[in-house]
Amino acid sequence: MGQGDVDAAIALFKDWQSERVTTFVGYLNKHQQRIVNYGYYQAEGISIGSGAIESTVKQIGRRIKISGAQWNKDNVPQVLKQRCAYLNGQFSR
């Protein structure tokens, strides 16, 4: 069973008769689409740790607060989309 293999986890508890297990399996079934397969991301070298995410958020915050820059809040989502496209190699460098 790999990390993030929700079906295998549910199968492990198939014959258990416990309120806690029933609650846990219910949670797994309800949130199955949101449970991250950490093993996959780790094997791909993709960081999902909160430190990297928080660092990126701070970096974006600093860029938005550049002295003399004027931002229209309606334009920020488009700027972020462009930045993501650039980082994903969808724009030529």
Report if residue 92 sits inside a domain: no
Q: What is the residue range of 20's domain?
A: 6-42
Same structural domain, 38 and 53: no
How far, in Å, CA of 27 to CA of 25, rounded? 5
Report if residue 18 sits inside a domain: yes
64: left (phi over 0), alpha (psi -120 to 50) or beta: alpha
Residue pLDDT, tens place only, 41-58: 778 887 777 777 778 778
Same structural domain, 57 and 73: yes
Report if residue 15 sits inside a domain: yes
Same structural domain, 36 and 53: no
pLDDT band with cut points at 50, 70 and 90 for residue 17: very high
pTM: 0.46
Same structural domain, 82 and 53: yes
**8 A C-beta contact, residue 25 and residue 10:** yes
Same structural domain, 83 and 53: yes
User: In this structure, what DSSP letter does residue 26 have?
Assistant: H
pLDDT band with cut points at 50, 70 and 90 for residue 34: confident
Report if residue 79 sits inside a domain: yes
Report if residue 27 sits inside a domain: yes
Report how many domains make up the chain.
2
Report if residue 59 sits inside a domain: yes
pLDDT band with cut points at 50, 70 and 90 for residue 91: low
